[in-house]
């Protein structure tokens, strides 16, 4: 499903080059759940952004679902992301000026689903995340955990092949974080989707099929 090969990425800051990723190789099979771990600042978000087609590598190749995406244009990568990737971030997930239901409809509208279609899917998902009665509310009326549940639903609503989550619980208290992660894991597995998630939580990492650890710009694959 995902294959990266010889990936390199560095930033130039104040004239000095900082190598964040150096020669990263790795592969994720369809339906697999891989946890991405590493110290803060080790380059987890950077790698996720590369795989999601948000950013471009300096070196190497990125393949997702049989297409090579690092050579695509900015616009093509955006359209790829729109159709194939679901995203959950730590912050800034929901669009403040859209209601909860509209936030879920947005990805469907972007891929061109009809509204009648979309309404049904959204209603079903809201039911599934236990927020059936909050569809008309604006996100700032929801608690942090509720907001993150909506973000998860939104990442899945258009049925993407790959779900990318960047510390989705970093902003939540432990218990709520556990609930949210439980829901994310269950929903991804039920749908048989592939997920790559950056996390600091040992427990979450333990629940994954595999762990990728970034150490000094390289990936260490940890099985089990």
Ligand X SMILES: Nc1ncnc2c1ncn2[C@@H]1O[C@H](COP(=O)(O)OP(=O)(O)O)[C@@H](O)[C@H]1O
Token code pair at residue 107: 């990805």
Q: Which does 72 bind (CB under 5 to 8 A by kind): ligand X, Mg ion, another protein, none?
A: none
Residue closest to 52 by CA, chosen among 164, 148, 138, 161: 164
Q: Which does 20 bind (CB under 5 to 8 A by kind): Mg ion, ligand X, another protein, none?
A: ligand X
Pairwise CA distance, residues 170 & 121, whole Å: 28
Nearest approach, Cβ of residue 37 and Mg ion (Å): 11
Closer of 41 and 120 to ligand X (Cβ): 41
Nearest approach, Cβ of residue 115 and Mg ion (Å): 36
Nearest approach, Cβ of residue 87 and ligand X (Å): 14
Q: What is the 3-state secondary structure (H, E, C) of 92-134?
A: CCCCCCCCHHHHHHHHHHHCCCCHHHHHHHHHHHHHHCCCHHH
Determine, following the binding rule CB under 5 A, whether residue 10 of this chain makes contact with Mg ion: no
Pairwise CA distance, residues 18 & 34, whole Å: 26
Q: Which residue intervals of the chain are DSSP H helices?
A: 44-51, 74-84, 100-110, 115-128, 144-156, 174-190, 202-207
**Contact (CB, 8 A) for 34 and 195:** yes
Closer of 102 and 161 to another protein (Cβ): 102
Residue closest to 92 by CA, chosen among 177, 204, 171: 171
Q: Which does 145 bind (CB under 5 to 8 A by kind): another protein, ligand X, Mg ion, none?
A: none
Query: Residue with structure tokens 């093509």?
Result: 76
H helix count then E strand count, the chain:
7, 10
Phi and psi angles of residue 79, each rounded to the nearest 5 degrees, phi first: -70, -35
Nearest approach, Cβ of residue 104 and ligand X (Å): 27
Closer of 37 and 125 to ligand X (Cβ): 37
Q: Which does 42 bind (CB under 5 to 8 A by kind): Mg ion, another protein, ligand X, none?
A: ligand X
Q: Which does 87 bind (CB under 5 to 8 A by kind): another protein, Mg ion, ligand X, none?
A: another protein
Determine, following the binding rule CB under 6 A, whether residue 13 of this chain makes contact with ligand X: yes
**Stretch 23-62: interaction string toward Mg ion, x if CB under 5 A:** ----------------------x-----------------
Nearest approach, Cβ of residue 203 and Mg ion (Å): 19
Q: Which of residues 43, 57, 60, 107 is near ligand X by CB under 6 A? A: 43
Residues lying near ligand X in the complex (CB under 6 A) are found at 11, 13, 20, 38, 40-46
Residues lying near Mg ion in the complex (CB under 5 A) are found at 45
């Amino acid at each position: 499903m995902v294959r990266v090969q010889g990936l390199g990425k560095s930033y130039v800051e104040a004239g000095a080059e900082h190598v964040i990723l150096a020669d990263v190789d790795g592969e994720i099979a369809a339906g697999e759940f891989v946890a991405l771990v590493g110290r803060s600042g080790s380059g987890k978000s950077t790698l996720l952004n590369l795989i999601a087609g948000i950013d471009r590598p300096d070196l190497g190749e990125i393949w997702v679902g049989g297409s090579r995406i690092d050579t695509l244009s900015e616009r093509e990568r955006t359209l790829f992301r729109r159709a194939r990737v679901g995203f959950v971030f730590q912050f800034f997930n929901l669009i403040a000026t859209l209601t909860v239901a509209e936030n879920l409809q947005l990805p469907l509208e972007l891929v061109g689903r009809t509204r009648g279609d979309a309404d049904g899917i959204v209603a079903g998902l809201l039911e599934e995340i236990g927020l059936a009665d909050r569809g008309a509310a604006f996100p700032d009326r929801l608690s942090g955990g509720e907001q993150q549940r909506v973000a998860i639903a939104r990442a899945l609503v258009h049925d993407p092949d790959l779900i990318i989550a960047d510390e989705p619980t970093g902003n939540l208290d432990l218990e709520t974080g556990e609930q949210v992660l439980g829901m994310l894991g269950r929903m991804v597995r039920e749908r048989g989707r592939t997920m790559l998630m950056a996390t600091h939580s040992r427990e979450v990492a333990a629940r994954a099929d595999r762990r990728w650890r970034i150490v000094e710009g390289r990936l260490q694959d940890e099985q089990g």
